[in-house]
Chain A
Amino acid sequence: MPFGNTHNNFKLNYKVEDEFPDLSKHNNHMAKVLTKELYGKIRDRQTPSGYTLDDVIQTGVDNPGHPFIMTVGCVAGDEESYEVFKDLLDPIISDRHGGYKPTDKHVTDLNFENLKGGDDLDPAYVLSSRVRTGRSIKGFTLPPHNSRGERRGIEKLSVEALTSLDGEFKGKYYPLKSMTDAEQDQLINDHFLFDKPVSPLLTCAGMARDWPDGRGIMHNDNKTFLVWVNEEDHLRVISMQQGGNMREVFKRFCVGLQKIEEIFKKHGHGFMWNEHLGYILTCPSNLGTGLRGGVHVKLPKLSVHAKFNEILGRLRLQKRGTGGVDTASVGGVFDISNADRLGSSEVAQVQLVVDGVKLMVEMEKKLEKGEAIDSMIPAQK
C-alpha cells in the first residue's frame, strides 16, 4: 500500500513529464532533491516487496511544507527502500544529517556505562527526562506499506517478546482495539496513550490504515518503560521518569532494548540494522540511533535571551514545545533534546543532552541573578 509495483508498471505507459509531481511550491527535503531527470531515472524501480518511488514520495507531494520544521517528505516502505532508491535517499540523508556520506559508517553504542554523569540535573529546573527510539523488525515491511496480516504478525511477535520481560521491565500489553474505558482513561492520564495519527505527514504516507488493528501499548508496572507497537514504526521504545536523572533513564533504556532485541533474535527476527545507516526506521530523519533524548526544562530567562537559538545550535540540541514536535512552548518550559540521529552513537547523543542541559541550567541561574552569560557560551560541538 498505497499502490505498489503493479500499479507502478501501469504508470510507466505515461511520459515522465506527465507523471512528475509539481513541486514548485514545495519546501521539504524530497522536493529539494527530486528533479524530473532523477524521477525519470528511478521511477521504474521497485523493492522486492513492491514498494515504488511514488509510494516513497507521496507524503512529500501531499505536504508542501510545515510551519515549524523542514520536513523530510518521504518514507521507506521496507528495509530495501534505502538501497533501491538510494539515488533519492542518499542526498536527502546527507542534507538532513549534516553531510553524512554514502560511504560513512555509523557507530552504535548502547553501553550506558559509557555515559559520564547525567544523574545530577537540577530537578528544580529539569522536570522530566526521557529517551526514545524506534526499532524495525527484520522480515516485515514498514508501516507505510505493510498489510494487515503483516502488521498483526508484528504485533504477535512483539507481544510475545514484551510480555516475557521481567524485573523492572515486567508489564502488560494493551491492544488499542480492545481497551476498556478504564484502561483508556488510565493510559491517557499517564500520558502513554497514542492516538490515530492526525498529522497529514503520516496519514498521507498510509500509516493510519486499518486503525486500530494491530496497534497497542506495553508499559512496565512502574510506568517508566513504554513501548508503542505499530504506530509510525514497528516499535517505539521509551524510557522516562520525573526529575533530572537522565543517567538512570538511559540505563533502563539500554538494558531494556538489549533484552528485547535478544528475544526477537531468538525468534529469527532481529532488528533492521546495517553499518552504514544504523537502525532502519520508517522516516529517514530517524536513521542511525533513532534516538531522541530530552528533558522538559524551565528556562524562562534563557529562552528569551538573544543568543538562545545560537546556544542550542552550538550544543547540537533542538527545542520543542512540551506537547511534542508540532507544538510551541508554554510557560517557559521547553522540551530540549539532541538534534542529531545519524553519524554519532547513542551514548554520544545523550552525553550532548546531559552536558548541554547542565550548562543551560547554570546559565538560567546566572540570568536569575542578573549576571551575564557571555563567557559561558560554548564553542560549536
Chain B
Amino acid sequence: MAGSFTRMIAGRNGAVLLASLGAGTMATGFLMSDNTLAAEARTKLYPPSSDFPDLRKHNNCMAKALTPAIYGRLRDKITPNNWTLDQCIQTGVDNPGHPFIKTVGCVAGDEESYEVFSELFDPIIKDRHNGYDPTTMTHPTDLDASKITNGVFDDKYVLSSRVRTGRSIRGLSLPPACSRAERREVERVVVMALAGLQGDLAGRYYGLQDLTDKEQQQLIDDHFLFDKPVSPLLTCAFMARDWPDARGIWHNNEKTFLIWVNEEDHTRVISMEKGGNMKRVFERFCRGLKQVEQLIQERGWEFMWNERLGYILTCPSNLGTGLRAGVHVRLPNLSKDTRFSKILDNLRLQKRGTGGVDTAATGDTFDISNNDRLGKSEVELVQMLVDGVNYLIECEKKMEKGQDIKVPSPVTQFRR
C-alpha cells in the first residue's frame, strides 16, 4: 500500500535491493515476475479513481469532506515520516458511523499530516470545530489557572471533577504511525521527565507489560487502568499495534494527577479528584503540564504546537487545547426536563454516560463537559464549563423548590 506512487519507487528500488542482496539477474527477474508491472504502468492501471473509497453509506466528517478531486491530488503525497492519505482515512472508511456521536473519520500520523494533507484536514477541522478556519485564524493558549472564578461546585450535586488533555512529543510519529522504536522513545522521554516531578506531583510509572497482578488490581480499583483499545475507531487506525509494548500509566502518590503513555496519543494528562473543586483540579493540571514541559525541554524535546492549530494530537477533534473538563453531576430533575438538551447546547456543553464517550447515561448522574476544543483557550473553556455547571445546578435547585427555569441564551463562538 502506502500509495501507488510510493509502491512504484519500491518497484525500482526493489530490483536494486534484490540485486544487492546477491540475487542474480535471473533470480531478480523471477522475483520481478511478468505480472509485476513497471512503475508507470501501475499508476495508469490504478489511478486515484480506482482507489477512491465508497463513502455513500458513510456519515463522518471525512466522508463529507473527501471528494474524488481532493483524493486525486493527495493520494500520492507522503509526509516526511512516510505517512500517506490512505492511512489517515482508513479508520473513516472502515467505520461508516457511530450511534452516539458524529465521528471525525481520520487521524494524523505525524505533525506534518496536518500540513501535507491540509486540503482534507482544513475543511474537516472547520466542520468539527464550529467554523474555525485554520487558514485565517489563530488559536490562543492560556494555562493560567488563577483566572478561574466560581470554580468550586456544590458537593451535593457534583460528585467528581476532572480535566484531561493530550500532549505529543515533537519529532516522533503519532500512535497510528509510530514504529516500535519510536513508541519506546516516547515512553523513555516521558518517563524520564515525570521522574523529575516533586511535592504533591511526585509519583511513579507502571509499564503495562510489567504490571504485577497486585499492581494491576490496584490500578483497576482506582479506575486508572486503560486497556487495549477495542473500539474499531482506534483499532482500524492502527493504534493498538504491538500492544502492550511501551504503554503505561504514571500517577502521583496522591492519585490526583495521572498520565497515560502511548494510548491514543503520546500522552494523555489527567487531573482529577472527588467533589466539586474544579478550580483546584485545573490549577494542578496547569502546574503539572508546565512542569512536565519544562522537564522535557531540559533534555532538548518539546511538545507539538503551532499557533494555527494549538496542541497537535492524533485526532483532529482534539486539536487546540485537547481539553475536556468535566464533572460527574447529579441532575435528577433537570435531566427529565425536555429543555435539558437545549440548555446544554446553548451552554456549549455535552453530556455523556459516566462510563465515558461510548456509554449512555444511566440514572440521574451525568458526565457534563465542554464541547469545544479549538479556538478558545484552556482558561476560557474551563470558565465556560464552570459557568455552565453552576447554571445547571441553579436550575436543579430551582426545580427542587418547584420553581421554573429559563433556557439561557447561546454562548458566543469565537471572539474574532
User: Residue A118 at the B interface, CB < 8 A?
Assistant: no
Taking the nearest CB of chain A, how far is it from the CB of B260, in angstroms?
A: 19
Contact B241 A62 (CB under 8 A): yes
Contact A148 B83 (CB under 8 A): no
User: Residue B262 at the A interface, CB < 8 A?
Assistant: no
Contact A211 B245 (CB under 8 A): no
Contact B51 A149 (CB under 8 A): yes
Contact A61 B241 (CB under 8 A): yes
Contact B240 A147 (CB under 8 A): no
Contact B14 A210 (CB under 8 A): no
Contact with B along A62-86 (1 / 0, CB 8 A): 1000000000000000011001100
Contact with B along A159-193 (1 / 0, CB 8 A): 00000000000000000010000000000000000
Contact B181 A18 (CB under 8 A): yes
Taking the nearest CB of chain B, how far is it from the CB of A324, in angstroms?
A: 22
Which one of B31, B50, B242 contacts A152 once the chains associate, using CB atoms below 8 Å? B50
Contact B52 A148 (CB under 8 A): yes
Known contacts A50-B1, A213-B53, A4 near B10 by CB under 8 Å: yes
User: Residue A320 at the B interface, CB < 8 A?
Assistant: no
Contact with A along B253-283 (1 / 0, CB 8 A): 0000000000000000000000000000000
Known contacts A1-B86, A11-B179, A83 near B31 by CB under 8 Å: yes
Which one of B36, B52, B184, B242 contacts A48 once the chains associate, using CB atoms below 8 Å? B36
Complex alpha-carbon distance, A150 and B37, angstroms: 13
Complex alpha-carbon distance, A45 and B33, angstroms: 17
Please name all residues of chain A whose beta carbon is closer than 8 Å to the beta carbon of B13 when the two chains form the complex: 5, 46
Contact B93 A209 (CB under 8 A): yes
Known contacts A6-B78, A22-B209, A48-B14, A177 near B54 by CB under 8 Å: yes
Contact B1 A145 (CB under 8 A): yes
**In chain B, residues 64-91, which have Cβ atoms closer than 8 Å to a Cβ of chain A?**
78, 81-83, 86-87, 90
What residue in chain B is nearest A58 (Cβ atoms)? B241
Known contacts A6-B2, A22-B209, A203-B235, A48 near B31 by CB under 8 Å: yes
Complex alpha-carbon distance, A10 and B109, angstroms: 13
Taking the nearest CB of chain A, how far is it from the CB of B203, in angstroms?
A: 25
Please name all residues of chain A whose beta carbon is closer than 8 Å to the beta carbon of B2 when the two chains form the complex: 1, 3-7, 50
Complex alpha-carbon distance, A177 and B11, angstroms: 33
Contact with A along B213-224 (1 / 0, CB 8 A): 000000000000
Contact B31 A21 (CB under 8 A): no
Complex alpha-carbon distance, A61 and B240, angstroms: 11
Please name all residues of chain A whose beta carbon is closer than 8 Å to the beta carbon of B83 when the two chains form the complex: 7
Taking the nearest CB of chain A, how far is it from the CB of B34, in angstroms?
A: 8
User: Residue B302 at the A interface, CB < 8 A?
Assistant: no
User: Residue B17 at the A interface, CB < 8 A?
Assistant: yes
Complex alpha-carbon distance, A153 and B45, angstroms: 10
Complex alpha-carbon distance, A145 and B86, angstroms: 12
**In chain B, residues 6-55, which have Cβ atoms closer than 8 Å to a Cβ of chain A?**
6-7, 9-11, 13-15, 17-18, 21, 30-33, 35-36, 45-47, 50-54
Which one of B46, B94, B182, B209 contacts A208 once the chains associate, using CB atoms below 8 Å? B94
Which one of B6, B50, B81, B179 contacts A148 once the chains associate, using CB atoms below 8 Å? B50
Contact A10 B81 (CB under 8 A): yes
Contact A147 B10 (CB under 8 A): no
Contact A11 B181 (CB under 8 A): yes
Please name all residues of chain A whose beta carbon is closer than 8 Å to the beta carbon of B18 when the two chains form the complex: 84
Taking the nearest CB of chain A, how far is it from the CB of B14, in angstroms?
A: 4
User: Residue A251 at the B interface, CB < 8 A?
Assistant: no
User: Residue B243 at the A interface, CB < 8 A?
Assistant: yes
Please name all residues of chain B whose beta carbon is closer than 8 Å to the beta carbon of A149 when the two chains form the complex: 4, 45-47, 50-51
User: Residue B177 at the A interface, CB < 8 A?
Assistant: yes
Complex alpha-carbon distance, A31 and B108, angstroms: 31
Q: DSSP class of A's interface residues: helix, strand, loop or mixed?
A: loop
Number of interface residues of B (CB under 8 A): 54
User: Residue A19 at the B interface, CB < 8 A?
Assistant: yes
Complex alpha-carbon distance, A3 and B30, angstroms: 25
Please name all residues of chain A whose beta carbon is closer than 8 Å to the beta carbon of B184 when the two chains form the complex: 18
Complex alpha-carbon distance, A253 and B107, angstroms: 45
Count the A-B residue pairs with Cβ separation under 8 angstroms: how many? 147
Taking the nearest CB of chain B, how far is it from the CB of A76, in angstroms?
A: 14
User: Residue A259 at the B interface, CB < 8 A?
Assistant: no
Taking the nearest CB of chain B, how far is it from the CB of A379, in angstroms?
A: 41
Taking the nearest CB of chain A, how far is it from the CB of B304, in angstroms?
A: 18
Complex alpha-carbon distance, A79 and B93, angstroms: 27
Taking the nearest CB of chain B, how far is it from the CB of A212, in angstroms?
A: 9
User: Residue B238 at the A interface, CB < 8 A?
Assistant: yes
What residue in chain A is nearest B109 (Cβ atoms)? A7
Please name all residues of chain A whose beta carbon is closer than 8 Å to the beta carbon of B245 when the two chains form the complex: 21-22
Taking the nearest CB of chain A, how far is it from the CB of B222, in angstroms?
A: 25
User: Residue B342 at the A interface, CB < 8 A?
Assistant: no
Please name all residues of chain A whose beta carbon is closer than 8 Å to the beta carbon of B81 when the two chains form the complex: 7, 10
Complex alpha-carbon distance, A204 and B229, angstroms: 13
Please name all residues of chain B whose beta carbon is closer than 8 Å to the beta carbon of A138 when the two chains form the complex: 33, 35
Complex alpha-carbon distance, A269 and B235, angstroms: 34
Contact B235 A4 (CB under 8 A): no
Contact B82 A7 (CB under 8 A): yes
User: Residue A9 at the B interface, CB < 8 A?
Assistant: yes
What residue in chain A is nearest B83 (Cβ atoms)? A7
User: Residue B180 at the A interface, CB < 8 A?
Assistant: yes
Known contacts A4-B6, A149-B46, A210-B53, A10 near B82 by CB under 8 Å: yes
Please name all residues of chain B whose beta carbon is closer than 8 Å to the beta carbon of A1 when the two chains form the complex: 1-2, 86-87, 90
Complex alpha-carbon distance, A45 and B20, angstroms: 11
Please name all residues of chain B whose beta carbon is closer than 8 Å to the beta carbon of A80 when the two chains form the complex: 31, 33, 36
Complex alpha-carbon distance, A139 and B42, angstroms: 11
Chain B residues proximal to chain A, CB less than 8 Å: 1-2, 4, 6-7, 9-11, 13-15, 17-18, 21, 30-33, 35-36, 45-47, 50-54, 57, 78, 81-83, 86-87, 90, 93-94, 177, 179-182, 184-185, 209, 235-236, 238, 240-243, 245
List 21 contacting pairs A-B, 8 Å CB cutoff, sorted by A.
A2-B238, A4-B6, A4-B10, A5-B13, A15-B181, A19-B180, A21-B180, A22-B209, A45-B21, A46-B10, A46-B17, A47-B14, A62-B243, A80-B31, A80-B33, A147-B4, A147-B51, A148-B51, A149-B45, A204-B241, A210-B53
Chain A residues proximal to chain B, CB less than 8 Å: 1-7, 9-11, 14-15, 18-22, 44-50, 54, 58, 61-62, 79-80, 83-84, 138-139, 145-150, 152-153, 177, 203-204, 208-211, 213, 269
User: What are the 9 closest A-B residue pairs judged by CB atoms, nearest first?
Assistant: A4-B2, A1-B1, A149-B50, A139-B35, A14-B181, A18-B181, A50-B10, A149-B46, A48-B14
Given contacts A2-B238, A79-B33, 17 further A-B contacts (CB under 8 A): A6-B9, A6-B10, A7-B82, A10-B82, A19-B179, A19-B180, A22-B245, A45-B17, A49-B7, A50-B1, A62-B240, A80-B33, A83-B30, A148-B51, A209-B90, A209-B93, A209-B236
